[in-house]
Structure 1
Amino acid sequence: MLKHGAMHKNKQWNVKGAMRLADAFHFLHSCGSGCLLPFLTLFFRHLGLTPTMTGLIMASKHLLALVWRPISSVLARQYDKRRTVIVGSLVSSALVVLILLLFPSAGLEGESGRCNASQPSPSPTQNIVQFTTLHISPQFNATVYSVERTADVTEQPNEDNTEYTPTHATSNTTRSVRGVRSLKKSSHQHEENPRAEFLGSLKVMDAQHQMFFLVLIVIGFWEFTAVPLEWTTDDGLHEYFDFIDATDRHRGVKVWKHLGAAVGSAGVGILVTSLFCLTGTMAEFYSYSVLMLLTVPAAAFLPLYLRKRERPTRGVFKALQVVHGNSQALLGAVTVVLTGMTSSAVSDFLLWQMQDHDATEFHMGVSLALANIAQVCFTPLNGRLVRFLKYHGWLLVLAVVSLSLQCLYYSFLWGPWAVIPAQILAGFGTGALWWSVASQCEDVATPGTEKTVLRLFEALSLELGAGLGSLTSGFVVQKFGVKVLFQGTAVILALWSVVVLTLLKWKIPRQRRINYSRLLADASEMSESESDQEKDWMETALEGSRQNNKWTIDKP
């Protein structure tokens, strides 16, 4: 009977099957995210939004995730609704994101020449710009302009020097279009048109600002539905593998996340480039939605486990106390915030820079995939590199330096494929950064708080730092351009690497003695002292016994 019960228990906790489900779930979800998230700011550019508007939207997205992600994770655990939250997040995010396809472009389609390149043109320097008014719906009848190129019109210079102007092949047409468009829009502002109202309070805004607020609302709602998934899934899987004593295997899902993101970015890049003249960028959104829905069956069978006892609610506060009470942890926290700002600036405007140098979605997708693959390839090398450096803090300095060189390289792009060396370096820098941060968390965290401290660092980088970086980079690109953004970021990271190197040199000798040499010495000294104390006590007791016995015998 006991044997049958043991066999039934072993069959119930199928570790290999659970790992396959977890790997499949993370691969499909990351593949879907890779199809859309890296290209999102490029879509905002297609809608005609300025860099400042793009930065504000992305900053709002990150800051919303900073607040809502931990709250949703706690609520899902408290009410035992993890699987419902995961499945609901997949389905709702797949449907909400399609709302963005209802918005027509409020700006210029610089890529329109890709479909007309095969058609003969009497003169490449003669173009005509025609504006058409598009009515979206009876509720939103904003004036939106599209561009059609024909012959026999001389280009006019752009009079608005404050607006960011791309430098791709159609920049001359862009300047002519903006000059005429500004006159067209200024004339419409003086007209009384009750149908141009948007929710009443937005009637005084032009089409571009109306589009900005519409996109901001949709992105906020989309982030609200999508953001609970990651931490809720991670908590459920971690508790399951912890219950069956297989926590180390759960760490392997990170590899499948990177592989899924690489496949999604490269695949959608090829798909969009092949079907651009038929579907434009719609393939990115439909690919995301389809893959999110395909992830639902894997989510429905995920091995989630809920413990009987509740997790202490002071976990976050304990993590904050640990980081605040350790100078090295504070240095790491500031570093991850700065690197998070850098990563968001790169992810928001790198594709703009590539598009300005005639790159298509194919070039972009392949370059993004190489960064993820490079990060996977770095994982087996991190242990050897740390043993060579003799301290994981030096790896943090190398990560900051590599990110600085990466940004400097981005500012001097000259062609579609020129970005590849920097992407490989980006994979190395990102992998080194998070391996060093994870090692630091193990050093400073108290037992049971390692995961919470690591999540605190992730939130500081991926949400707080990313939000600040998107907000700042949008204003910088609007005022100075993408090239100045990357060069300024490279200088800031280079200076910070010098600061980190100086502080670590001051802290490392004492830290190394505590972690290695002194720890072994203390252990050996303690064992020797304990044996000596025991020996002294025994000898004293025996000698005292002998003296007492001798005194007793000799007394008579």
Structure 2
Amino acid sequence: MKKGAMQKSKQWNVKGALRMAGIFHFLHSCGSSCLLPFLTLYFRHLGLNAAMIGIIMASKHLLALVWRPFSSVLARQYDKRRVVIVGSLLSSALVVLTLLLFPSAGIQAESGRCNATSQPDAYPTALLATLDDDGLNITITTTLQHYSTQSNATVYSVNQTSLSTEQPVEVDTFVSSNWSARGLRSLKQEEGLHTEFLGSLKAMDAQHQMFFLVLIVMVLWECMAAPLEWTADDGLYEYLDFVDATDRYSGVKVWKQLGAAFGNCAVGVLVTSLFCLAGTSVEFYSYTALMILTIPTAALLPIYLRKRERLTSGGFKALQLVHGNSQAILCAITVVLMGMVSSAVSDFLLWQMQDCGATEIHMGISLALVHLSQAAFAPLSGHLSRFLKYHGWALVLAVVILALQCLYYSFLRSPWAVIPAQLMAGFSTGALWWSVTSQSEDIATPGTEKTILRLFEALSLELGAAFGSLAAGFVVQKFGVMLLFQGAGVVLALWSSTLALLKWKIPRQRRINYSRLLAADTEISESESDQEKDWLETAMEDDRGKISGQWKVK
């Protein structure tokens, strides 16, 4: 019996399970934060414009909106969670490296950070075809060198080397927009340079070729990476639920924030230090290395295995509960709007910082401060709840703070100036999800709390983010990053006023869950027993009084 008891206690080691889950999420978040926040900068480097980047990021979010819950259900149905997690880590780590195979179609503005001796390939080269007096082709290799920067245009001088003529060839300098290959492409098209670049897409210009290839790779990558997070979370949650320890599940989220902060800082330092040797490819190799490093922990991740069961309609039940509550509908609209603005900020804030002269170390530290401020908000949530009295006002506070952040971003003039706004993220994103969690508990029936919270997360992080990326891309393309942030701040400010008015007018509806009902029944039973005891004592006292009175009369 002792041996069996020891084996059982070892099998359900809750502390060890939480420790292993924390390591897994720390490593995975660290790897993701090494690359995901910097993707739009890399796409800019490839020569894609803001509208194209917005379409790519929107496609990524829409695919995750559909594929993530579906793949999670399938993994649970067929008990293949661990296989899905390990396969997702390995395949996503390898697929993302495909982006490094694409040649840059743009001009690297960062090349001024490295001199020609330390990085010979810092400046792109182009092949120009010209005709001599005899009609023979003369190939000239030109090297673009950074000359000066004015506003949004960068002037490049051209060093030329003639390969088939002894006479020097004069080539005028030209102006190219930052991160654009229009100058090179126009010269290629005018001179009729033939290229076999990108196979069947060669009929398009280089920018659209690059756009479609990047879109295909991103869709494939998201198919590989999307199933991981929900599958791992579901396995851990059901493991803890089986041993009645779901109250410890929220402690794992802190490791996600800490891992993301560490990854942001680490990759910022590495890219800045090794830029002249490896450029931005350090971000991709860091992601791949950490994903592969996470695989051993995924093999030991605590996952509760269950027998095959019929698919449940928990998502539809959650939709019905949200639809039937006015306060929950307001919360859903707010999380979609917040997701739109947050996606616009994550996609194009680093563009704004880069235009202000920021390097990757500035960006990494500023992104890490966001995660640290969100992690620090958890201990403060209790004080905030006592101050606001009702969690719905925290939702209004989150909208106001994010509006102020957006307005602040629009006036950035130096890299480190972004820090005050990043420190406010705890009271925007942190307060948002604290309020959403409380709202989920208010309307949930037994067993639906996690599903309702997942529904709000999907509305914000995927649906809202998709609309936000798409709209932000076209706004930046036409009006610029500054007007994007200013417009987002104004929209959020207007919605915060409307939201506060509606929350004041609409009565709060609160559903009592099973545990609260049991507590209420216990209190009622105790009060009834106390009343019964008081009645009995009163009757006995009356009887004593009557008896004593009879003795006195006699």
Q: Same fold (TM over 0.5)?
A: yes
**What are the residue-to-residue correspondences of 1:165-180 with 2, within 5 Å?**
167=151, 171-173=154-156, 176-178=175-177
Alignment partner, residue 83 of structure 1: 82
2:126 corresponds to 1:132: yes
Paired residues of 2:47 and 2:181 also in contact (CA < 8 A): no
Alignment partner, residue 404 of structure 2: 405
Paired residues of 2:176 and 2:183 also in contact (CA < 8 A): no
Cα 1:241/1:177, change in 2 over 3 Å = same
Deviates more, 1:314-323 or 1:420-429: 420-429
Partner Cα separation in structure 1 for residue 511 and residue 53 of structure 2: 49
Q: What secondary structure, in the 3-state scheme, does the structure 2 residue paired with 1:374 have?
A: helix
Paired residues of 1:167 and 1:356 also in contact (CA < 8 A): no
Amino acid at match of 1:429: S
**What are the residue-to-residue correspondences of 1:205-220 with 2, within 5 Å?**
205-220=204-219
Cα 1:133/1:18, change in 2 over 3 Å = farther
Alignment partner, residue 477 of structure 1: 476
Cα 1:383/1:133, change in 2 over 3 Å = farther
Note the C-alpha offset of 1:265.
0.4
The one-character-per-residue Cα deviations of 1:286-314 (angstroms, maximum 9, x if unpaired) are 00000000000000011111233636521
Partner Cα separation in structure 1 for residue 81 and residue 496 of structure 2: 41
Cα 1:376/1:76, change in 2 over 3 Å = same
The one-character-per-residue Cα deviations of 1:52-86 (angstroms, maximum 9, x if unpaired) are 01101000000000011011101111111111110
Alignment partner, residue 424 of structure 2: 425
Paired residues of 1:166 and 1:356 also in contact (CA < 8 A): no
Cα 1:513/1:437, change in 2 over 3 Å = closer
Paired residues of 1:262 and 1:370 also in contact (CA < 8 A): yes
Partner Cα separation in structure 1 for residue 522 and residue 304 of structure 2: 42
Alignment partner, residue 160 of structure 2: none
2:466 corresponds to 1:462: no
Amino acid at match of 1:380: P
Partner Cα separation in structure 2 for residue 146 and residue 48 of structure 1: 19
The one-character-per-residue Cα deviations of 1:382-436 (angstroms, maximum 9, x if unpaired) are 1111111100001110000000000000000010100000001123211000000
Paired residues of 2:79 and 2:306 also in contact (CA < 8 A): no
Note the C-alpha offset of 1:320.
0.6
**What are the residue-to-residue correspondences of 1:239-278 with 2, within 5 Å?**
239-278=238-277
2:147 corresponds to 1:148: no
Alignment partner, residue 364 of structure 2: 365
Amino acid at match of 1:99: T
2:23 corresponds to 1:24: yes
Cα 1:525/1:255, change in 2 over 3 Å = closer
Cα 1:486/1:172, change in 2 over 3 Å = farther
Note the C-alpha offset of 1:453.
0.5
- Higher strand proportion, which one? 2
Note the C-alpha offset of 1:199.
4.6
Note the C-alpha offset of 1:235.
0.6
Partner Cα separation in structure 2 for residue 317 and residue 77 of structure 1: 18
The one-character-per-residue Cα deviations of 1:247-301 (angstroms, maximum 9, x if unpaired) are 1112111100000000000000000000111110011000000000000000001
Q: What secondary structure, in the 3-state scheme, does the structure 1 residue paired with 2:415 have?
A: coil
Alignment partner, residue 290 of structure 2: 291
Cα 1:271/1:457, change in 2 over 3 Å = same
- TM-score normalised according to structure 2 size: 0.83
Q: What secondary structure, in the 3-state scheme, does the structure 2 residue paired with 1:251 have?
A: helix
Partner Cα separation in structure 2 for residue 458 and residue 395 of structure 1: 17
Paired residues of 1:107 and 1:146 also in contact (CA < 8 A): no
Cα 1:506/1:178, change in 2 over 3 Å = closer
Q: What secondary structure, in the 3-state scheme, does the structure 2 residue paired with 1:116 have?
A: coil
Alignment partner, residue 303 of structure 1: 302
Cα 1:20/1:55, change in 2 over 3 Å = same
Partner Cα separation in structure 2 for residue 23 and residue 464 of structure 1: 28
Amino acid at match of 2:114: C
Paired residues of 1:82 and 1:233 also in contact (CA < 8 A): yes
Q: What secondary structure, in the 3-state scheme, does the structure 1 residue paired with 2:285 have?
A: helix
Amino acid at match of 1:478: Q
Cα 1:411/1:439, change in 2 over 3 Å = same
Paired residues of 1:105 and 1:146 also in contact (CA < 8 A): no
The one-character-per-residue Cα deviations of 1:40-60 (angstroms, maximum 9, x if unpaired) are 101001111100011010000
Q: What secondary structure, in the 3-state scheme, does the structure 2 residue paired with 1:177 have?
A: strand
Q: What secondary structure, in the 3-state scheme, does the structure 1 residue paired with 2:51 have?
A: helix
**What are the residue-to-residue correspondences of 1:174-253 with 2, within 5 Å?**
176-178=175-177, 182=182, 185-186=185-186, 188-189=188-189, 195-196=195-196, 198-200=198-200, 202-253=201-252
Paired residues of 1:404 and 1:489 also in contact (CA < 8 A): yes
Note the C-alpha offset of 1:17.
1.0
Q: What secondary structure, in the 3-state scheme, does the structure 1 residue paired with 2:445 have?
A: coil
Partner Cα separation in structure 2 for residue 69 and residue 36 of structure 1: 20
Amino acid at match of 1:332: C
Amino acid at match of 1:302: L
Give the % identical residues.
69
Paired residues, what number?
A: 500
Partner Cα separation in structure 1 for residue 181 and residue 47 of structure 2: 12
The one-character-per-residue Cα deviations of 1:468-525 (angstroms, maximum 9, x if unpaired) are 00000000000000000000000000011011100111135x558999xxx99x9799
- TM-score normalised according to structure 1 size: 0.83
Cα 1:438/1:11, change in 2 over 3 Å = same
**What are the residue-to-residue correspondences of 1:318-467 with 2, within 5 Å?**
318-467=317-466
Amino acid at match of 2:8: K
The one-character-per-residue Cα deviations of 1:119-162 (angstroms, maximum 9, x if unpaired) are 9xxxxxxxxx985149xxxxxxxxxx9962167xxx8xxxxxxx
Q: What secondary structure, in the 3-state scheme, does the structure 2 residue paired with 1:132 have?
A: strand
Alignment partner, residue 539 of structure 2: none
Cα 1:511/1:81, change in 2 over 3 Å = closer
Amino acid at match of 2:330: L
Partner Cα separation in structure 2 for residue 130 and residue 525 of structure 1: 77
Partner Cα separation in structure 2 for residue 429 and residue 219 of structure 1: 29
Partner Cα separation in structure 1 for residue 181 and residue 339 of structure 2: 37
Amino acid at match of 2:126: T
Amino acid at match of 1:27: F
2:495 corresponds to 1:496: yes
Cα 1:513/1:69, change in 2 over 3 Å = closer
Paired residues of 1:38 and 1:347 also in contact (CA < 8 A): yes
Paired residues of 1:29 and 1:292 also in contact (CA < 8 A): yes
Q: What secondary structure, in the 3-state scheme, does the structure 2 residue paired with 1:439 have?
A: helix
Alignment partner, residue 543 of structure 1: none
The one-character-per-residue Cα deviations of 1:90-136 (angstroms, maximum 9, x if unpaired) are 011111111111111101211110113999xxxxxxxxx985149xx
Partner Cα separation in structure 2 for residue 181 and residue 222 of structure 1: 26
Q: What secondary structure, in the 3-state scheme, does the structure 2 residue paired with 1:149 have?
A: strand
Partner Cα separation in structure 2 for residue 318 and residue 272 of structure 1: 47
Paired residues of 1:167 and 1:357 also in contact (CA < 8 A): no
Note the C-alpha offset of 1:234.
0.5
Q: What secondary structure, in the 3-state scheme, does the structure 1 residue paired with 2:126 have?
A: coil
The one-character-per-residue Cα deviations of 1:5-47 (angstroms, maximum 9, x if unpaired) are 3232112211111111100000000000010000010100111
Q: What secondary structure, in the 3-state scheme, does the structure 1 residue paired with 2:47 have?
A: coil
Partner Cα separation in structure 2 for residue 266 and residue 259 of structure 1: 11
Unaligned runs of 5+ in 1: 120-128, 135-144, 156-164, 539-556
Deviates more, 1:191-200 or 1:16-25: 191-200
